[in-house]
Structure 1
Amino acid sequence: MKMSRKKIAILVVGLLVVAGVIIQAVWRPFAHRKAAETGEIVLDIHHPDAVIDSEALSRLPRDILRVPLLHDVLTQDFVDYYESDNTRLSAEGALRRLAFEHQLDWRDELIRRVFDEPAHVLLWRSPDGRLGYWVMSMRRNGLAKLLQGFGNVAASDAQLSQVARLSGGVPVYALKLAVGRTILFATKDDRLVVLSAPGVLLDAKGGLLGERADAVSEMLSSGRDDAARVYQLDAPGDAPKGHRLVVSANYLSFGYQAFFSGIDALRFDFSPNGSAAANWQTAALIEPGKLPQHWNSADLWRALPANPAACTSLPADWKEASGLLGKVADAGAQGATAIGDQLAGPAAVCWYAKSTLVAPLFVARVKTQDAASSAALKAALGKTFGNVIGAYEAKAAQSGEAGGDYRRLPVTTREQGADVTVWQRPVSARAGTALSSKAPFASQLSAERYFPVTLALARGYMVFSPDARLVDDTLAVLDKRYPALADTLAPQRLPRTMLTLTPSSAAALIEREAGAALPPDQESVFRNASRTHLVPKLHALAHYPPVSLTLPQDLPGSTGWVPVEWWFDRAKVGAGADAGGAAGVATGGADTPADLPGTEGD
């Protein structure tokens, strides 16, 4: 039976409601906002922070759970959340309302078919730090082909309105989903582009933003955008297989790209394999010219204490990092440069179960120096530490430190041999790692806890942490009195290891931190929820063996994608490890690659 033009228009509206909330419903943590912006949104249309190419966005959460480790940690709740959140349920309600009011024979499989369409999504960060702004491009298949010619049909629903026209007279429509939430969409031939908010395309007066309008027009004409060029990707086909997720390193580092120079992005590819275990592949977009000493991290792993909860090597750009230091230190750019010029190679940051999440350990390599250079560096570090580290201490009036009304406890300096110097300053803080009552200077502290912030220059390394215990452990490693992280890694992979994780230590750290953040007398409800839902997941995670990520031994001569290998130290799974928790990874020899079904990309 032929459908009237009015019914076609109503069906169009329903399809676009579903298409428009695909990201809102499936990726709600990325796209949640309190209200839609009415003015221009700040973003670079040519350089998205993340890209998703998916055969079907609705299947992405389930495919993520096909990785054994993530399945044990996230369980089915992860999928249920995206399938039953308020945005998706409200969209289904809107579809049913349209069908009822206009006497359309819609069945539930219509919603599933639209959600199963292939999609290409560009995402940008919003002010809250989430990937809250997006543009989705898709080819209109199946029932969506009814969209052809709908522009000639007068919209009878108050939620739909035309707001602009792109080049070639292509209309842009606004669809109001809820109060404060409106999406835009445009169609041309067999292509559809949906935008998360009017401000992505329109200015405060409703006019088109030139570059963005041109980009949307290109997506409608050819399906192409600048993401492939920016991230050196193969242009997605009209029907991509599986999923491809690309996230910029700038977004992952919260904008501190100076500490991730040489890494432009990370990519995760999922290839469907029927009912078999998931096959996720990982790659990094590397710019070799910006990697310090080709990102050789062997010296760092030899200096770091063993058994970290998590530890990563950072290919820092010390020149740019010095610029950041110069902005916060009274010594200015000259003093900061004097420090940055003496640092070489990558740095490392590690978290340990014995400390807290807010007190990591930082280690960097110092260039080979003569006596004069060493003395100059020591003087610059001491001055900068005293200048930058510390907070106002209301009770520190008798500390003897100059500085007017801004009082801080004094910096103590000690020499531990000819080539070891340690600086330390106590800083009062509720989240501190040490108890004030046990300190000899307790009367001068302003809180029940404090950080013994410590910096050391020792045997060619600079070591820093808010927790003095981690610095002491590192000095013990350098003195051969404490096991090094390198002792637990394969020697041939030390130079190219970029990250290592000990799930048992990480689980213990997170469990303790969660408990500290939820005091039983203040957060009893959340604390009980944590015990019921979080703790079992952490215990499941703890049964997995240590894992490390490595780059290839030989990096390309120019910018390009290189594979990232995941390695599991299977020999370290204890005999008492739960069989279910370690399934799929607790077999094979010691320190073998993740080559078993279901382990690639855990």
Structure 2
Amino acid sequence: MKMSRKKIAILVAGLLIVAGIVVQAVWRPFAHRKATDTGEIVLDIHHPDAVIDSEALSRLPRDMLRVPLLHDVLTQDFVDYYESANTRLSAEGALRRLAFEHQLDWREELVRRVFDEPAHVLLWRSPDGRLGYWIMSMRRNGLARLLQGLGNVAASDAQLSQLAKLSGDVPVYALKLAAGRTLLFAAKDDRLVVLSAPGVLLDEKGGLLSERADAVSDMLSSGRDDAARAYHLDAPGDAPKGHRLVVSANYLSFGYQAFFSGIDALRFDFSSDGNPTANWRTTALIEPGKLPQQWNSADLWRVLPANPAACTSLPADWKEASALLGKVADGSDSAAAIGDHLTGPAAVCWYAKSTLVAPVFVARVKTQDAASIAALKGALGKTFGDVIGAYEAKAAKADGNDSDYRRLPVTTREKGADVTVWQRAVSARSGTALSSKASFASQLSAERYFPVTLALAHGYVIFSPDARLVDDTLAVLDKRYPALADTLAPQRLPRTILTLKPSAAAALIEREAGAALPADQEAVFRNASRTHLVPKLRALARYPSVSLTLPQNLPDSTGWVPVEWWFDRAKGDESSDSAATQAPADQPGTEGD
């Protein structure tokens, strides 16, 4: 049956609506943002924050649930979420209206065809931190040819309009879904490119941004872009097999790339090839030249206390980190010089006895000679006094000067020749200690406070907002407390980059959720947490401890290296952390034998 131009336009509009829903549903489905169409959007068109290549976007959420841990934690709700998302519901309403008004019966076929098509998606972070901006490129298998003659319809349609033309007189159309929500799209031959917002391609005056326009033109002509070069990937073919997800380390670290020097991105690949037991594989994009001491973390695991909820090694760039600390300390030379005394990776760990906002950080000191230690001690003490602390309305006035920025004093303790500890109490609602139990309770401004603590001990710098974690780490150094290394396989210590104990992590998250949702203030959300969150945390808690490791030998140049997942099978009690015989699992969720 021959379709009229108007029906063709409506069909294409529906396709674009559904395509937009797919991306929003696949990535961060539980996040929301207020979308706006005004102004150029800031992004690097040559280096997206994430890349998705999928044989069929409709299968991506379900294939993610092949990871047993994700299957138990996310359950079927994750797959079905897009059915009840606001964007999905409003789009379905629009599709029903179009179908009713124009006697069209293509809704289910439309959804199936769009969701089952191969897609290449580039994503960038939006101001709220989520991956809210995207460009999706698809081969429409001849369907895009239906766009011929669309210009006549766009000239008289309130919802559909032509905004610009790319090179070769390729028109760019805007489809307005709702107030503040507009998709752009362009088609050439059998290729279709969809953009999440006008600002991805247009400036404030509606003109084409030349660099981005060239990139979109290349996508339409060849299906290629710069993402493959940026992430050292093989360019995706027209029909990718399975799924490939790439996320930059800069995005995952919230921009603190200085603490992740040498690791550029994480990659997750899924290719079933008809194998029902196939699963995901994890790799990391490594720059060996930037890795401190080849990312050997063995010394850190020997210092950190046992039984963490989670620990990760950070291949820190101490020069960049020092510059960042110097800015925080208003250009202090002492702060900027601290990084000169540190070496190797750092580590950060969370423990169930503390809170999510109070992990412990550990880093190694470069040299142990007396002069260097004295210089570092002076820099640490000054920087700690300058940076740590907040205004305390009830704190004692310094020398009777009313204009002083009042903070509680820094206490300094020398625990032997090699151990110095600095501490300052900071009032905070989410603090880890009760103010009523402190000897200086009358000077605190809240019911709780952080005993923020810094230590220089036996060649290590230790810091935490919770003094208990620093004390435990000092006890490990003094051989009075078991170390994390005692629970990990010795042969894998140097290359272990992350370790997680699900039972401890679940207990920590459950307690934190309860504290954030007081029964007398957040009864509705607290009940929702008990109904939906707690059962999933209990499911998570049943999993054994897991560690991630890199290969023993890293490449000489930048490239992708496999990340191995190791699941402990403790002997005896499930809560035991004693190391057991482990076997590698090159994908998450598969226990070693």
Distance 1:337 1:18, change over 3 A: closer
State the AA in 2 paired with 1:592.
A
Correspondence for 1:516? 515
Q: What's the offset of the Cα at 1:241? A: 1.1
Distance 1:448 1:152, change over 3 A: closer
Aligned mates of 2:312, 2:575 — CA distance in 1: 28
Correspondence for 2:547? 548
State the AA in 2 paired with 1:386.
G
State the AA in 1 paired with 2:494.
P
- Tell whether 2:581 aligns with 1:590: yes
Correspondence for 2:220? 220
Q: Give me the TM-score of the superposition, normalised by structure 2.
A: 0.95
Aligned mates of 2:16, 2:432 — CA distance in 1: 53
Distance 1:574 1:56, change over 3 A: farther
Correspondence for 1:497? 496
**Which residues of structure 2 form unaligned runs of 5+?**
none
- Tell whether 2:7 aligns with 1:7: yes
Aligned mates of 1:154, 1:258 — CA distance in 2: 51
**Which residues of structure 1 form unaligned runs of 5+?**
578-587
Aligned mates of 2:502, 2:261 — CA distance in 1: 27
Aligned mates of 1:452, 1:391 — CA distance in 2: 12
Q: What's the offset of the Cα at 1:8? A: 2.7
**Greater shift after overlay, 396-405 or 304-313?**
396-405
Distance 1:559 1:372, change over 3 A: same
Aligned mates of 1:301, 1:28 — CA distance in 2: 33
- Tell whether 2:394 aligns with 1:395: yes
- Once the two structures are superposed, residues 127-180 of structure 1 have per-residue CA deviations (whole angstroms, 9 ceiling, x without a partner) of 1111010000000126x2452524354345421110000001000000011111
Correspondence for 1:406? 405
State the AA in 2 paired with 1:272.
S
Q: Give me the TM-score of the superposition, normalised by structure 1.
A: 0.94
Aligned mates of 1:141, 1:596 — CA distance in 2: 33
Aligned to 2:168, what secondary structure does the other structure show? helix
Distance 1:597 1:549, change over 3 A: closer
State the AA in 1 paired with 2:126.
S
The 5 Å alignment of 1:551-566 reads 551-566=550-565
Aligned mates of 2:215, 2:498 — CA distance in 1: 37
- Once the two structures are superposed, residues 229-262 of structure 1 have per-residue CA deviations (whole angstroms, 9 ceiling, x without a partner) of 0000111111111111101011111111110110
Q: Is the 8 A contact 1:266 1:285 kept in 2?
A: yes
The 5 Å alignment of 1:110-125 reads 110-125=110-125
Aligned to 1:571, what secondary structure does the other structure show? coil
Aligned mates of 2:130, 2:377 — CA distance in 1: 41
The 5 Å alignment of 1:57-206 reads 57-141=57-141, 144-151=143-150, 153-155=152-154, 157-206=157-206
Q: What's the offset of the Cα at 1:401? A: 9.9
Q: What's the offset of the Cα at 1:32? A: 3.8
State the AA in 2 paired with 1:364.
A
Correspondence for 2:474? 475
Distance 1:421 1:31, change over 3 A: closer
Correspondence for 2:445? 446
Aligned mates of 2:430, 2:105 — CA distance in 1: 60
Aligned mates of 1:105, 1:450 — CA distance in 2: 63
Correspondence for 1:530? 529
Q: Is the 8 A contact 1:49 1:248 kept in 2?
A: yes
Q: Is the 8 A contact 2:52 2:121 kept in 1?
A: yes
Aligned mates of 1:403, 1:246 — CA distance in 2: 55
Aligned mates of 1:378, 1:325 — CA distance in 2: 16
Aligned mates of 2:405, 2:41 — CA distance in 1: 40
Q: Is the 8 A contact 2:39 2:203 kept in 1?
A: yes
Correspondence for 1:569? 568
- Once the two structures are superposed, residues 261-287 of structure 1 have per-residue CA deviations (whole angstroms, 9 ceiling, x without a partner) of 101111011112547245100011000
The 5 Å alignment of 1:420-435 reads 420-435=419-434
Distance 1:424 1:528, change over 3 A: same
- Once the two structures are superposed, residues 422-442 of structure 1 have per-residue CA deviations (whole angstroms, 9 ceiling, x without a partner) of 111111111110111111111
State the AA in 2 paired with 1:57.
L
Q: RMSD of the alignment, in Å? A: 2.2
Q: What's the offset of the Cα at 1:374? A: 1.2
